[in-house]
Structure 1
């Protein structure tokens, strides 16, 4: 994506960076979704940033207005029409939102440029477009351009029309950030990228509110797929000492999704608050780089599962620590909760039950060379195991239901608290060392979106919105256990 100190166009890490989302979301959800009326006095778990969590149409409306912008270099095809419609719609939003946010008139970008990366006759931002499977905002001449030959069709196949819209909303976010003076030549890439993520979230909220004349976005599966795309644009996982470490840094999946959610929840004003200090506060002590010559992956075995549970006992010091069983039948025989494999908690016996083969399968690492994949690895599985321990913590504390929508989000929140606690090494009684490594938080966030089990109640039931699950997890990452019990009573 776009370096803020360059006049070059945005650079995607991979032309297919969004392609994993649809397939993963379609078939991997292991939790079931809670139905009924919410009872929380603080937040409605069946809403997304105050909006009802519903499924419905997502993409270009059948009766959409025609594009208001012309495109230089277009072949007149459907994909360029979609892109021009997207930019026209984004400008409809900013025509009002910009003046409200910055108290000055909005100035649209100068030109839209289309090319085919397989052709030899295009130019964008001073570069030839041959092989440029990309989209971007050019600071030098205030243009937005895209590859109609490879990139946009790939995005459309992965996420439908809204995948194309999301990428162009991000690129337009760079234009807004520069126009408003929030970013300039000396703005770090990390800040500029997350400001653009935030601005794209603000626009997407407008679409979800049914304010767009061209596009629709459901707050259920439609928004989940948008978030999957944001996660796919995370920085690659690097080791300490890697020559690329710290160069052209855009942010982790957790950071980028957070920035998007800030804009979606609170509008453009929230984006003005994103700077190095804010990002540093959000990042805290979470690791960014892997130790040299390490993958950060702890094999999913019985011994390592025991070590994780031992670490939780050290960190949370329950008076009556839960037992650990590797017999799935113990979950089937629980008197007051249904199984939630690969890890279940039975309040009646105060036991965490692990289906080890299923947990091992969930913790399979994504191909590190596959730039299209969501984050997946050991902590996709271990975050689920930790979440069952967090149910045991709630059970011991008492006074709260374990089988409600609030319990599901409270569990996600407490899992965030536990995740941060592991950012420092914990030595178990057996002498094993457990510690969070770079990439683990992104694996947890991806799991929150794709299967929801780390954000589920004692019966493995979650709320419909991946947005809400991730938001609850972030509350815990940035807070403490008391905050989780207060926000999700």
Structure 2
């Protein structure tokens, strides 16, 4: 149960330029992100504009190499805005005073005459922070337009906020020469999250970010920056890793929720604790993909029965009419749960279509594959477990509780399980990312018995992570 994917645009990957940085005890009074199912880290979940304000304050920085086009204007405005944030926020969290980056540099990856950090920019589809001279640069020809097309202005701003995070962590001495890339990248993700919170609160004179679709698009961009899957037999396995989608979106959310102090707390120990036993590399010569067939759907339900040992296991049906005639719940295709009959109803064709792995080379292509579908099936099983506890199944808390319990199940399924017929089923590297992407894009894993979810992808992913890192009782207690 995992997948391999093609390498896409190298956003913050820095494999080309080794001198680039691209990509717990908390202070203060953190707000529970679960206090209100319709809130986002203590903020209201709102619709509205996201991106550059119509009458945005002009940027304060010049851009070297600019073509004076819209992309460079947006990027220059973004860096100016990020610096406004850090001018005020830096001294509240770190020693010393804030120092802006030395220079902003733009290039077109199609051109031959650019240079950044001592290297030619021909073919450099990237954005990066240069440690040598403390400059920040970006590709205006391919990368930034692609990000804007797929995720709007704030996806492009996110990349620059991440790169600026490398400057902040360097001057705050959060990293040393020996700090692993994994740590520095996730710290930068976190620091970008602190800036995005400031924008979402309405403090930016240049940008807006609503906490509904706007923030969801930013999270989609973070997910897209995940590491490509590697196999145990890959000679470069584990080298220069930045983190999975699950890890990177978690780091971003830490910053958004708890501020810069949460970013300073990200180190090797914290990441290892957060990663736990979750698989990182695919087994040799395996894609990890299970076909979405009746055999493997039944096997998944058998595996969940083995793990959770319910007194009354749910029945499984592939007759979609049963979902339509359920007296106490509406269908939530491609998998539905009927409390009255304790039956999970699966539309096998639609579930299989949901589980097709994504071969999109776009800048913000989500993770998808078999566990995008199997996690939806698992979520309906989790509704059956909740039904035995006589808790409400048709409200926002039930939706988040379902996401949390599905996270618990995913963590347990990461350990190999042999079924009575000799088949084995196990989540492998990439499967958690597939679930997270599905939670953001369709929300079914984080939906109630009627398929209704909360509007905030941020809250849905938070609930899922709570389960991955916790247990079932924690989910029931948090969402009572």
TM-score range with shorter-chain normalisation?
over 0.9
Q: Which residue of 1 aligns with 2:98?
A: 106
Distance (whole Å) between structure 2 residues aligned to residue 150 and residue 415 of structure 1: 38
For 2:438, the equivalent position in structure 1 comes to 447
Residue in 2 that maps onto 1:204: 196
Counterparts in 2 of 1:76-475, with a 5 A limit?
A: 76-367=68-359, 372-398=364-390, 400-475=391-466
| TM-score when normalising by structure 1 | 0.92
Q: Could you give the per-residue CA deviations for residues 241-271 of structure 1, whole angstroms, max 9, x where no partner exists?
A: 1012111100000000000000000011100
Q: How does 1:39-78 map to 2 (within 5 A)?
A: 43-78=35-70
Cα RMSD for the two superposed structures: 1.7
Secondary structure, aligned partner of 1:410: helix
Aligned residue pairs, count: 461
Moved more, 471-480 or 140-149: 140-149
- Provide TM-score, normalisation by structure 2: 0.93
Once the two structures are TM-superposed, the CA of residue 427 in structure 1 deviates from its matched residue by 1.6
Q: Structure 1: where are the runs of 5+ without partners?
A: 13-39
Please say if residues 21 and 166 of structure 2, whose CA atoms lie closer than 8 Å, have aligned partners that are also in contact. Answer: no
1:9 to 7, 11, 20: 20
Contact 1:5 1:188 in 2 (8 A): no
On the 8 A contact 2:125/2:142 being kept in 1, the answer is yes
- Which stretches of structure 1, 4 residues or more, deviate above 6 A after TM superposition? 368-371
Residue-by-residue CA offset, 1:296-347 (whole Å, 9 max, x unaligned): 1010000100000001111001111111111001111111101111111111
- Secondary structure, aligned partner of 2:89: helix
Superposed CA offset, 1:21-69 (max 9, x none): xxxxxxxxxxxxxxxxxxx996101000011111110000011110111
Q: Is the partner of 1:461 in helix, strand or coil?
A: coil
Q: Is the 8 A contact 1:135 1:146 kept in 2?
A: yes
In structure 2, relative to structure 1, the CA distance for the partners of 1:361 and 1:76 (3 Å cut) is same
SS at match of 1:469: helix
Deviates most, 3-12 or 128-137? 3-12
Deviation at 1:104, TM superposition (A): 2.1
When structure 1 is superposed on structure 2, of 323-332 and 119-128 the one drifting more is 119-128
Equivalent residue number for residue 37 of structure 1:
none
Preserved contact between residue 146 and residue 363 of structure 2 (Cα < 8 Å) = no
After TM superposition, give the deviation of residue 430 of structure 1 in Å. Answer: 2.1
